Chains A and B, each alone.
Chain A
């Protein structure tokens, strides 16, 4: 039987407070080592299937690493198309969480018809940009964007989101006042969860020292990966002892809604959940703006020579890094560092946010909400143990 990777989080309480947070992971953080010996093209073919839930981000990080290793410049047309694919996955992943998981967290039944509508709205992006299906080809596939189909897909996604929120997404996230007014008045299940989390105690739960991931990743990322022969770094990364938070809160902390919530409640549950909603609005807007920049492009023949490359992308859940070493046209070493290893690090934001928290009747629910807000890419079980 294939063991399903998971996270087990235990809150150890004593004297009325959380004294320690233990995180056990069975995630297969070193499985990419087995890409060694394969041809680069075989790796980018395999990635979307074995990482189906964040397959676009995985492929784009891989392409970035492979093309850097080969010193292969990417044509200017491929950049916007790849960025559009990445944003599409971010909107899709966050939207599914809003429609499928948030109602359940609020004690409500999700509207599965809406979940399906949101999933299908952006499901055809790869084919709409790269009709030959070669979007994952090193050097770039044959880009032939169907502008009308893209605009129609974005309009459908926006319409579905407006319906889910029971208000226009853009208006809801325009400023803090509008956002809080919507939370207070809207019957939408998304607003219902945010309303539950808006009490002072819950809104602030999970705030700890906020250490957002730097925009291009930690300065020592490449060097640490290079020397990580045992795989300890990709399992529990740090940068000079600091364990960064990566994902929507780190990326959207500048936004007026998120900044306002951080100012009022700290970087806790309400700011983290809201950052995901705000990122949906921001990413969808960016996608709509990008359409006019898309041009046809033939791509380039893969020209993969010996070398070392690092590919970084901001995936839905945070910074994703791929590092590759190529020799004789084959991969000799392959490493992946995923965002969950930062956020669910034993000294990361999940653990920091709960250290010292008072034991309350709803501690388990609070911890569950925090795990959802930090959005692990695998199932996460939480329990509370009184020492």
Chain B
């Protein structure tokens, strides 16, 4: 029983991490038809920003208590800023050439991890975290690490915030309408391009938060972390239906759980394999994903 509880919580934690990356990816793809290959880089930027601040480089921030919260805030802000810069400088000039947009993000996705390993070395760095988040707590007879709970909580907050934003605000309405039919929104006289920058900022914010908290989950940061998570985030996006935030949340939980359980109960690595095979099978049976929409 305790094994199942632990696996479930770890799977949920991993799913939460996937959701933080995939939600932005899904919105960006849904609205702009751009598969953002630099999204993993945004996560890495968030992780390194938080690590940098929490190791005492930023005044006021530190590895414990409010200092760590400030560090996470700093990392998330840097990631958001990077996403906005990415959209304005790299993606925006290529609006008339959709395929080149994807290619340009591939270039950024190659360059940023290389730059990070140039500045801080290619080896993994130990991630400092507050005492309160590094312990475990008892749940149904299992000792569950607290950081899983932090990730799940952050993902739930992001999900609720995104739902509220998309459902209750005017900007959210424009984004939703743009996902459905971008040409029609433009024809109605609304400048969709402003929404492009907005979804990039939101996506970058969520991914950077994922990076900051992912550091707690993995216990370390390294430049390749974001890129390796990106593939599974793609799986989540496609499974959940591109452009659907709720779909991404459901898919993230399913993928995270399947991966953890399969890795534990069969050979290690078979879970990762199962997930990508699942993606291929799903796309062939239902090319539009679980929720049945394809922007």
A and B together in one complex: no
B residues adjacent to A (C-beta < 8 A): none
A residues adjacent to B (C-beta < 8 A): none
